[in-house]
Structure formats: C-alpha cells, structure tokens
Amino acid sequence: MRHIAPLVLVTGLAACGPPAADYGAVFDHTGGRWVDLTHAFSESTIYWPTDTAGFQLEELAFGPTEGGWFYASYQFASAEHGGTHLDAPLHFAEGGLTNDQIPLSGLIGPAVVVDVTAHVTPDYLVSVDDLTAWEAANGAIPDGAILLIRTGWADRWSDRTAYLGTDLTGDAAVAELHFPGIGAEAAHWLVDNRGIVAVGIDTPSIDRGQSTDFRAHVILYAESISGFENVANLSALPATGSYVVALPMKIEGGSGGPLRIVAFVP
C-alpha cells in the first residue's frame, strides 16, 4: 500500500529560512475564487438505491424559548455513502485506511479535471486513452494530485431517474443502473504510472452503473487512493491550476462519510 505523507502547514518561520508565504489572498477572495463542489443534503439527496432511508433531518426545536431568545436544533441520520461523500480505502480494501486515518495530504491537493462530456454515454468507461489525451494537451498528472472526472452527470442531479438510469429502488434497481465510471484499465494505469492521492467523479460511483465487480474501487482503494462521489460543479474548474480541499465528517473507523468539497481557482 502506498504511503501518503502527512500535510504540514508551517507559518511564521522566517528566521529558519525564506519568509513564509502570505496566504491571505486565498481567503479574502483577492487571489481567486472558491467553488463549492458539494450537493446539499436534503430529503431529495440521491443515495444508492438499496439505501431507501436516505437523508433524514428531524426538528428538535424551532422557535422562541421561555427565556426570550430564538433557538433551533435538529438531528440527522444518514448512511456514509450517499450524496456528495467520501469513500475511504477501507470501503473496498481490507485493512485499508479508515475515514479518520486519511491524512490531510490525501484530501487536499492540486486538481486535475479530465472532461469526457464530449463523448460520454450512460455506460461509458473512462479509458487510458482519455487520460493520455488529457496529458498530451495539459502535461503529466502531477504527484499528489486529486483527479476529478467530469462526465456531465451532475446536471442530472435534480432528476433521480436520469441520474441513476432507473426509477426503481431496492435490490431490483442495482441491475438497472446506468451512469459512467472509470474503467479497470484506467485505474491500473493510474496506480502503475501516476501518484494521485484521490479521485472524484460527478456520478454515484467511480465504477459505472453496470459494474458487477467494482474493479476501479478495488484497484484504487488498495493503493490508499480515496474516492469522492457525487461531486458537483466540475464545469466551474479549469483542466489544471485549481486546488481541492475535501474534508469529510471525521468518523472514527468509518468507511466513508458526508463530504464538503471545495476548490480554489486562482
């Protein structure tokens, strides 16, 4: 299993070397813009069709109190793998990193956006040719990169049937799923030739809907490469030059979790 080094941010160490970078422009919007890549969680959030409970939000309190102030409080329930979420390597790799064990360097990094919208189909498999064609135009995928696959499927998010390829629920729905994913050959190529730390996609799964063996999951997660599924707004990112921050709910021992993923575009 590949080792992902911890990410350490150090500031105020000018006496020990070059002056620390001024990151203020990143956070005051003068140096670029932030893009939210996350679908909001609600009762309409899309989950794997065998998870029929979905996202649940229960009101515990809402309104004025006896003390005279307003107070609102809710409780929520959700499976780990629904909506915009993290797949920790453990999800498909026995002994793999759990949610809370993934270092920040596996969740934060330069973004590479491979756009296959021009030729995607409902059962499309992202191929080695897609990756090498992208590199021919943009240069090699750098070590430490977060690879984001744009299929255009996020545009279907408001239509569950169009997004999943079926209006069925439960076990009967699984064989009827139709959406693009990453091919096994492409997953092997990435593991053998590039040093990405995570892969994200704007579909329900990094494997296509018609997959029965989930090879992309198995191949990538065995190498401690995490997955981000149901990613939104990839059309707002350039092919290169943006940076991703993908921070899930930190669930001890978890195989995944709800994810707030954003990108900074200089």
Nearest to 195 by CA among 263, 259, 112: 112
- Rounded to an integer, what distance in angstroms lies between the CA atom of residue 88 and that of residue 229? 11
Token pair in block for residue 198: 């995570």
DSSP state at residue 252: T
- Rounded to an integer, what distance in angstroms lies between the CA atom of residue 25 and that of residue 134? 30
Token pair in block for residue 121: 């189909």
Q: Is 91 a catalytic residue?
A: yes
Q: From the candidates 39, 81, 85, 91, which is the catalytic residue? A: 91
- Rounded to an integer, what distance in angstroms lies between the CA atom of residue 112 and that of residue 211? 25
From the CB of residue 58, how many other CB atoms can be counted at a distance below 10 Å? 9
Tell me how far the alpha carbon of residue 195 is from its chain's centroid: 17
Please spell the DSSP secondary structure of 148-213, one letter per residue. Answer: EEE-SGGGGTT-HHHHHS----SHHHHTT----EE-HHHHHHHHHH---SEEEESSS-SS-TT-SS
**β partners of residue 74:** 59
Long-range contacts of 208-211 (CB under 8 A, 24+ apart): 208/123, 208/124, 208/125, 208/179, 208/180, 208/181, 208/182, 209/122, 209/123, 209/164, 209/165, 209/177, 209/178, 209/179, 209/181, 210/123, 210/177, 210/178, 211/181
Catalytic site positions: 91
